[in-house]
Amino acid sequence: MTKFFFQIYHLIWLAFLSYNARFFVNQNHFNIELTMFAKPFSYLANPEVLFPLVFLLTVSLTLFNLIRHNLIVFSLTTVCYLLLFSLKHSFGKIDHNMQGWMVLSVLFCGLNIKQPLSSFRNLTIIRLGQCLLLSHYFSSGLWKVRKMFNSPPDSIYNLGLEHFATTIAGGSGTSLLIENFFVENDWLLGLGFIIVLIFQLTALIPFFLNKWYKAWAFVAVGFHIVTGFSLAIWFKPTIISLIFLLYITEELMTHESNNVS
């Protein structure tokens, strides 16, 4: 079952890499100062050479891990994931939409493929990964609570409007029709702010009550789909992380325990 877990994980990564293939192969818009590199490495410092090479190496290592899992190769693959997506968003930066998935990738280096998912070591790592993923939501909820306490009691609608304005200013791609609708019905933004706040503050409940992992994943994915269609904010890696780590993983462990019993 642990091997199947890793196979699903690597298939997801292949999907990510395939989706970004055109970007990684064509890096003409990157401007890197070649003088910062020693002369022998100046050719590799050229983004038109560096990115496709790292991309092809990452794909090759991922395919190898699909066929045969090896801890050293898997750790090297994870380093390539980090490098590739850091370079994609400019040197030294990883898109915040990828952070949760990258953290999981590093954590999974500690999983033992020879042991079942429900073994103490593997279960500890999986629960830690789930907690880290959920903590992103919880910390966002705490930030909103602080915002509420620092604002006048009657300004809850304004907070919703403020978040909406920030989203629009960030270029979310929301249609003008939807923008006007929410501006004219600002009470919906206030209500939405409260619903999102409750949703985020309950994020750690599954960590203490394991039976709620799949239910919370269902609600979270639904939330992201709604914000995707209404506000054009799509956190695709986060959605996939939720489905994989909170739903599929729990299903695999349930199936594993049923087989044992």
pTM over 0.85: no
Mean residue pLDDT across the chain: 75
- 112: phi > 0 → left, psi -120 to 50 → alpha, else beta; which? beta
Residues 115, 2 contacting (CB under 8 angstroms): yes
Q: Report the pLDDT averaged over residues 133-141.
A: 85
Give the tens place of pLDDT for each residue, 234-261. 778 888 888 888 898 888 888 887 776 6
Q: How many whole angstroms separate alpha carbon 188 and alpha carbon 192? A: 6
CA atoms within 13 A on the CB side of 228: 12
